[in-house]
């Protein structure tokens, strides 16, 4: 089979295994006399040749089987996808294929702008129509760019979305393949989609339309006009006009941009009655031809209707309420959306949250009655829950800014290390590193004046007479509070919490070198190179803009937790006051009570006294015959370290952490990373290259492995382990029994 050939009405169907779903559908449209743009297909066997020439098949398998994907978070799937994509971009097509492609494009598409679309044999069948899991690229010109986009389409076989739906897609690296559709780009006046059957009402069909290319509609960036049509007689049931009709997607010099429609162009709906009727008829005919309801993309140019694709309608997302995959997919945001989010987070949410935490901190709780304290706790719990919900709805999606930057960086730079981009984001003064730096400066005062050490050992900061120490300590407290208050499960007094924090500062003072952020010379060189390569790119943003967005996203990913932590501290301060009062009333188990229990107990102390806490049964410690020798995670920060493990478990006894130990945690958040400068390595069960443990480890240049899924089950405090941050391995050298 040739590596690329034109679809034509005489080719004959039945070649879906080689053509892939999309090309097969287009072939059938041709056979049935419909007009489609000039379309060529790169069959699936070219994908196979590419994979085998570059020895990628087993490499992909190793990536996918590093651990059971069922134990992987979406972030880890994204990481895998990024590594595969980068490896594809660095790989070469077989020379003969490259030259045949070049000749073919010159012969059939000379001077035309192109569209490159995925065409997987698994997609677009009646059981599954996984729109959007694989990729398409518009307005491509030149053979080099075409080849790059073909590789990206192939890599999208393993996109994060495809990996999420791997079971439904029957995705297996051993046999899954991808064809590619290459089409001329139709510079359309209007475009749209039609569902020959309304997914919510069998008796209707739905037509949507926008001015310009379909891109704006399918990306969700432009709201379309919508017509609901009766399937019985083709009559209009309902017309939903777009709220505003001002933008259209058009091909620009490179890529596609959203531009103002201009003049009175947007005054009328894109589809007039006559064309509406034609599309209705086409949809009915295609449903009959293919024997099932169709999802059809169409476009109109120079008076001609072109069909871009027709595929069966199937549901992407099941009705399972526990299926969070659609939510993960919703985290992928456009540049424009992320920019808006950045502005909102930086200028509205963070300042509001800080202001609220500061306001709460000024309230004197000691003077409140028990009832008033219970009300205050209720209020603080409610406000904290509010901010947690903002965190999930707004802050977490904004973290996609890092990923978007990473993808753009890798596309332009094609680096050997797919995480090279992180070095351009790191070292930009995170709140957590500022907090640690303040603690480091306090430690430097202890080093300079050894008498401070003895004073601090009492846990009373007010005894320290050093003129620099106290103002620094006040700054630390006012900016960050005492992180030990945040996890005040044991009901510590302020002095006890301070003693724990001061203990950490004293340990900082013992460090021969306080870790500084990783050197930045290299990242400055890379930054210049990246900005240079972005100069003639087709993105709807400049290099500086996307870098700024990436940096804001990286910084806020850490900082938002710190600010949220301040709200949590204020809740905890009130809870601590409640526990203290309950203790004074003879409720000895008060230190173990949670916020809602404290509220109930404050209101009705007598009942609370009659309801002793159910003590959890402690499981007797019999040594398991199962021992881990070596566990696999992701290499999240390079380096190697051997040392004794300190597991920070749910008791969160950070004060026990000793300098030089290896921090082993289920999941770390920035409010806990004050121990990072003391750690010789960090290992985290939660996976991902961009999670907080990985971020702080890279900031300090210490090895880090993330995504070791049974870590806390198999590694215990006191074990001697080696952490290999290059390969993502944790080797247990000596078990503590």
Partner 1 sequence: MKDIEIRKKIESLLATQMLAVLSTQKNGQPYVNLIAFAMADGLETLIFATPRATRKYTNLQEESRVSLLVDCRSNQQSDFHKASALTIIGQAKEADQATFESYHPIFISHHPYLRDFVLSPTTSLFIVSVKHYIMVSHFQRVLELHLTDETDLFAR
Q: Does 277 bind partner 1 (CB under 8 A)?
A: no
Q: Are strands 294-301 and 190-195 parallel, antiparallel or unpaired?
A: antiparallel
From start to end of 291-360, where are the E strands? 294-301, 304-312
Report in angstroms how near the CB of residue 709 gets to partner 1 at its nearest.
9
- In angstroms, the CA 455 to CA 408 distance is 53
User: Taking the complex as a whole, how short is the minimal distance between the CB of residue 643 and partner 1, in angstroms?
Assistant: 15
How far apart are CB 681 and partner 1 at their closest, in Å?
18
Between 8 and 710, CB nearer to partner 1: 710
Token readout for 642 is: 């051997």
Q: Is 212 exposed, middle or buried (0-12, 13-18, 19+ CB in 10 A)?
A: buried
> Which CB atom, from 504 or from 715, has the smaller least distance to partner 1?
715
Gap between the Cα atoms of 55 and 57, Å rounded: 6
Q: How far apart are CA 644 and CA 35, in angstroms?
A: 69
Which residues have CB under 8 Å from 323's CB, separation 6+? 317
CB of 324 to partner 1, least distance (A): 24
Q: Does 13 bind partner 1 (CB under 8 A)?
A: no
Instruction: Identify which of residues 481 and 633 has a Cβ nearer to partner 1 in the complex.
Output: 633
> Mapping DSSP to helix (H, G, I), strand (E, B) and coil, where does residue 143 land?
helix
Output the CA–CA distances (angstroms, integers) from residue 670 to 336, 486, 675, in the order listed.
28, 12, 10
Is the Cβ–Cβ distance between 177 and 120 less than 8 Å?
yes
Residue range at the interface with partner 1 (CB under 8 A); choices 205-213, 423-431, 525-533, 628-636: 628-636
Rounded CA-CA distance 730/637 in Å is 13
User: Which residues in the 40-79 window bind partner 1 by CB under 8 A?
Assistant: 57-58, 61-62, 64-67
Q: Please identify, using beta-carbon distances, which residue of 174 and 606 lies nearer to partner 1.
A: 174
CA torsion 284-287-289-292 (nearest 10°) is -160
Residue closer to partner 1, measured from CB, 388 or 632? 632
Site for partner 1 in 490-519 (CB under 8 A): none
Looking at beta carbons only, is 174 or 416 nearer to partner 1?
174
Task: Determine the 3-state secondary structure of 458 from DSSP.
Answer: coil
Closest distance to partner 1 from the beta carbon of 632 (Å): 5
- According to CB under 8 A, which one of 429, 493, 710, 726 is a site residue for partner 1? 710
Shortest distance, position 719 Cβ to partner 1, whole Å: 12
How does DSSP assign 60-85, residue by residue? HHHHHTSS-GGG--HHHHHHHHHHHH
- In the complex with partner 1, the residue whose CB is nearer, 613 or 632, is 632
Supply the minimum distance, in Å, between the C-beta of residue 372 and partner 1: 50
Structure-block tokens of residue 609: 């006294």
- Strand pairing class (704-706; 681-684): parallel
Is residue 628 near partner 1 by the rule CB under 8 A?
yes
Nearer residue to partner 1 within complex by CB, 72 or 523? 72
CA-based radius of gyration for the chain: 30
| DSSP string covering 678-708 | G-SEEEESS--TTSHHHHHHHHHT--EEE--
Max CA pair span of the chain: 92
Q: Residue from 12, 111, 174, 467 that binds partner 1 (CB under 8 A)?
A: 174
| CB of 454 or CB of 713, closer to partner 1 | 713
Q: Which of 283, 504, 631, 689 binds partner 1 (CB under 8 A)?
A: 631
Element (H, E) at 524: helix 521-534
Q: What's the min distance (Å) between Cβ of 58 and partner 1?
A: 4
| Alpha carbon distance 58, 79 (integer Å) | 18
Give min distance, CB of 81 to partner 1, in A: 17
The contact mask relative to partner 1 for 233-252 (x = CB under 8 A, - = no) is --------------------
Residues forming beta bridges with residue 206, ordered by sequence position: 195, 228
Asked if 714 interacts with partner 1 (CB under 8 A), we say: yes
Q: Which of 327, 627, 649, 736 binds partner 1 (CB under 8 A)?
A: 627
Q: Considering only residues 716-735, where is the footprint of partner 1 by CB under 8 A?
A: 727, 729, 733-735
Find the binder of partner 1 among 369, 617, 625, 650 (CB under 8 A). Answer: 625
Tokens linked to 269: 């709906």
| Shortest Cβ 708–partner 1 spacing (Å) | 10
**How many residues make contact with partner 1 (CB under 8 A)?**
26
89, 388, 603, 632: which one binds partner 1 (CB under 8 A): 632
Task: Decide if residue 630 touches partner 1 (CB under 8 A).
Answer: yes
Rounded least distance, CB 481 to partner 1, Å = 39
Report the C-alpha gap between 329 and 337 in whole angstroms.
Answer: 14
**Could you tell me if 436 and 563 are in contact, meaning their C-beta atoms sit under 8 angstroms apart?**
no
Which spans of this chain sit near partner 1 (rule: CB under 8 A)?
Answer: 57-58, 61-62, 64-67, 174, 624-632, 710, 713-714, 727, 729, 733-735
């Amino acid at each position: 089979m040739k590596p690329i050939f034109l679809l034509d009405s005489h080719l004959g169907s039945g070649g879906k295994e080689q053509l892939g779903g999309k090309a097969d559908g287009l072939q059938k449209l041709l056979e049935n006399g419909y007009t489609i743009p000039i379309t060529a297909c790169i069959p699936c066997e070219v994908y196979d040749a590419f994979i085998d020439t570059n020895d990628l098949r087993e490499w992909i398998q190793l990536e996918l089987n590093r651990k059971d994907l069922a134990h992987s978070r979406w972030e880890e799937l994204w990481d895998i996808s990024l590594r595969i994509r980068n490896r594809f971009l660095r790989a070469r097509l077989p020379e003969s294929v490259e030259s045949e492609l070049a000749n073919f494009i010159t012969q059939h598409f000379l001077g035309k702008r192109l569209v490159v679309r995925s065409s997987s044999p698994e997609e677009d069948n009646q059981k599954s129509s996984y729109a959007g899991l694989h990729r398409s690229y518009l307005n491509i010109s030149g053979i080099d760019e075409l080849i790059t986009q073909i590789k990206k389409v192939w890599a999208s076989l393993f996109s994060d979305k495809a990996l999420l739906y791997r079971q439904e897609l029957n995705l297996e690296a051993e046999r899954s393949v991808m064809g590619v559709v290459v089409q001329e780009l139709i510079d359309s006046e209007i475009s749209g989609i039609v569902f020959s059957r309304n997914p919510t009402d069998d008796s209707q069909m739905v037509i949507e339309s926008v001015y310009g290319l379909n891109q704006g509609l399918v990306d969700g960036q432009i709201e379309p006009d919508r017509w609901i049509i009766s399937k019985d007689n083709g009559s209009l049931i309902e017309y939903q006009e777009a709220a505003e009709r001002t933008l259209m997607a058009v091909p620009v010099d490179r890529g596609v941009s959203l531009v103002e429609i201009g003049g009175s162009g947007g005054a009328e709906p894109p589809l007039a009655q006559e064309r509406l009727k034609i599309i209705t008829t086409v949809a009915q005919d295609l449903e009959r031809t293919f024997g099932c309801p169709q999802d059809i993309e169409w476009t109109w140019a120079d008076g001609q209707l072109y069909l871009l694709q027709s595929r069966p309608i199937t549901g992407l997302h099941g009705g399972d309420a526990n299926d969070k995959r659609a939510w993960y997919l919703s985290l992928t945001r456009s540049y424009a959306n992320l920019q808006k989010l950045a502005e909102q987070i930086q200028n509205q949410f963070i300042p509001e949250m800080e202001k609220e935490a500061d306001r709460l901190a000024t309230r004197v709780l000691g003077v409140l009655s028990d009832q008033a304290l219970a009300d205050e706790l209720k209020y603080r719990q409610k406000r904290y829950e509010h901010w947690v919900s903002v965190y999930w709805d707004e802050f977490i999606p904004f973290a996609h800014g890092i990923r978007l930057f990473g993808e753009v960086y890798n596309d332009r730079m094609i680096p050997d290390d797919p995480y090279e981009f992180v070095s351009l984001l790191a070292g930009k003064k995170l709140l957590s590193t500022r907090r640690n730096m303040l603690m480091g400066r306090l430690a430097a005062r202890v080093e300079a004046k050894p008498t401070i050490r003895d004073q601090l050992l009492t846990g009373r900061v007010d005894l320290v007479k050093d003129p620099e120490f106290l103002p620094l300590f006040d700054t630390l407290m006012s900016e960050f509070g005492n992180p030990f208050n945040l996890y005040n499960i044991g009901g510590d007094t302020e002095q006890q919490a301070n003693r724990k924090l001061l203990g950490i500062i004293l340990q900082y003072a013992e460090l021969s070198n306080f870790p500084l952020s990783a050197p930045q010379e290299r990242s400055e060189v890379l930054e210049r190179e990246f900005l240079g390569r972005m100069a003639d790119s087709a993105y709807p943003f400049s290099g500086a803009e996307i870098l700024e967005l990436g940096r804001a996203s990286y910084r806020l990913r850490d900082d938002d937790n710190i600010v949220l932590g301040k709200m949590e501290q204020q809740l905890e301060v009130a809870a601590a006051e409640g526990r203290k009062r309950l203790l004074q009333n003879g409720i000895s188990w008060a230190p173990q009570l949670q916020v809602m229990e404290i509220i109930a107990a404050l209101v009705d102390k007598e009942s609370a006294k009659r309801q002793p806490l159910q003590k959890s049964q402690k499981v007797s410690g019999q040594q398991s015959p199962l021992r881990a020798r070596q566990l696999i995670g992701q290499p999240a920060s390079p380096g190697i370290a051997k040392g004794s493990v300190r597991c920070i478990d749910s008791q969160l006894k950070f004060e026990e952490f000793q300098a030089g130990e290896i921090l082993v945690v289920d999941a770390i958040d920035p409010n806990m990373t004050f121990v990072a400068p003391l750690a010789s390595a960090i290992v985290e069960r939660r996976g991902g290259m961009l999670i907080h443990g990985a971020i702080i480890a890279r900031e300090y240049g210490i090895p880090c492995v993330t995504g070791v899924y049974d870590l806390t089950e198999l590694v215990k405090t006191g074990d001697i382990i080696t952490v290999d941050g290059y390969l993502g391995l944790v080797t247990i050298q000596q078990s503590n029994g």
